[in-house]
Amino acid sequence: MALAGKQISRAASVAGRRLVSRPALVSGRASRTARLSTVCKVHKVCVLPGDGIGPEIMEVATKALSIAGAKEGEEFEYKYCLIGGAAIDATGKPLPDETLATAKESDAVLLAAIGGYKWDSLPSAQRPERGLLAIRAGLNAFANLRPAIVPRQLADSSPLKRELVEGVDILIVRELVGGIYFGQPRGFGTNEKGERIGFNTDVYSEPEVERIARVAFEAARKRGKRLCSVEKSNVLEVSQLWKEVVIRVGKDYPDVELSHMYIDNAAMQLLRNPKYFDVIVTGNIFGDILSDEASMLAGSLGLLPSASISGSGPGIYEPVHGSAPDIAGKDAANPLAMVLSAAMMCRYDLSIPKVADRLEAAVNAVLDAGLRTGDIYKDGTAGTRLVKCSEMGAELMKHL
């Protein structure tokens, strides 16, 4: 099991000292990155700006990464590739072969966002989102780690009451390369009445559930020792298998308190009592929904990063938010989640935690200074100032 033994320390404290989890890898992946950081100082990063606001926030992140790296004697070699809508326009494919090959040869992949209204009318197999699914599958990035943390500076920006969200620190572990997004058969057809139908298959094997469960149990063991498995076992056979396997794996982790929750209840409890959760493990489609919902506890998708890892090859690091085509090119995007994704990359794949420290400290500094892009700005909040994406980037560079 490639990720068995992964150590993931507790994420941000209530005081907001950290905005992301701080993992320390002790698997085969760790030895690979340890060799990388001791033998050479140049880290190969496949950069995928993608669509919409992607190029704007990626520009900020790579500049910040280079400055922070230089302060610690680390260098980055960026190879820019196409994915999503931009790749469709240039090559006709949402994931060109060259992009996947470059990603596999890199130490890590930094991805901004994909998709947009322009490509919504394309057939399903040709849409930008297929490129994202394909690169996850191509790199076997089966474990998606999404921290949902409410920084102390932004507790009042949440749509929920401060007393509900202040101190929230959740890690969602989402299975990423199985389930209904990848299950076969899928497609379109005709039913017995001659009516056109669309269909997808939600399917998981025992090994797929076991490996993601172990990632989640290891994470919980290094945090609050509480794991909640989310499924729909009262209705779905695939969820009944999921629950059975998670319970079996849980016997290897007697120090971790395991609970179970149906997806509909979990969605409600995330808003009603988010502090109940420590680590959540769930399948692909449920994880997609819950992680977006949890990210809004902080008031914006623009603040939270994510890591998609395999335990052996390069991981994919990307913000939780999408391409936001409505504000693309308007210098209104929030680059902080992209910068924090780069910080996660430095911890997980590149084993250069001091660079991650600098990036996270700079993000905390601009928030402490009251700088807010439109998505996190609340009119009338004392000590805050509305800034553009480029202004936020410039201030980050000053603090770096």
Q: Which residues are catalytic?
A: 181, 232, 264, 288, 292
Bridge partners (DSSP) listed for residue 77? 44
For residues 282 and 289, the answer to whether their CB atoms sit within 8 Å is: no
- Token couple for 61: 């992140």
Using CB atoms within 10 A of its CB, is residue 79 exposed (0-12), middle (13-18) or buried (19+)? middle
CA 184 to chain centre: 25
- Residue 152 phi/psi, 5-degree rounding, is -60, -30
